[in-house]
A = this chain, B = another copy of it.
Amino acid sequence: MQAAWRSGDAGRRVRDKHGMTSPATIAAANALEQGKALTPRYDANGLIAAVTTHAETGEVLMLAWMNAEALAKTLSTGEAHYFSRSRNELWHKGATSGQVQVIEEMRIDCDQDAVWLKVWPQGDGGACHTGQRSCFYRVIEGGKLAMRP
């Protein structure tokens, strides 16, 4: 891992993100990207992106948002909690629909502004309010959308 930090690509990224390459900047990036501490970088609205895949099939089921409370609840309960931007409130996925998502594994990305949840969908096994299994039920082809399992 250290080798990667000495590569041209890593150096470029440190400059990109922070505008400078001082030892302190590099140390901070190292801690963020290589450390053991969970330090999510929430955006101006206090949110990070969460991508959720099916633990068995790997299919991307949905993309949603978490605030610190949603992340903490997900970790403490083992069930996916998000922050609903439309309702502006904590959202225990499946609380009303039955489509509870039991966490198999949870990952965070290099700069800690996105998480990846591998889940076991409960209830009818779906994740989308439209009735589809995944929210990504349409492909983009020739500038148009087409339904595709």
List chain A positions with a Cβ less than 8 A from chain B. Answer: 1, 3-5, 7, 9-10, 12-13, 16-17, 33-38, 49, 51, 53, 57-60, 62-63, 75, 84, 86-87, 96-97, 105-111, 114-116, 128-132, 135-140, 143-148
How many monomers of this chain does the complex have?
2
Instruction: Say yes or no: A116 contacts B136, CB within 8 Å.
Output: yes
Interface centre among A129, A139, A144 (most CB of B within 10 A): A129
Which of B3, B4, B110, B146 is A36 in contact with, Cβ under 8 Å?
Answer: B146
Q: Give the interface SS of chain A, mostly helix, strand, loop or mixed.
A: mixed
Interface centre among A84, A86, A115, A136 (most CB of B within 10 A): A136
A35 neighbours in B (Cβ, 8 Å): 145
Instruction: Supply 7 further A-B pairs (C-beta < 8 A) apart from A33-B130, A49-B63.
Output: A1-B147, A35-B145, A62-B109, A75-B143, A105-B139, A107-B137, A114-B135
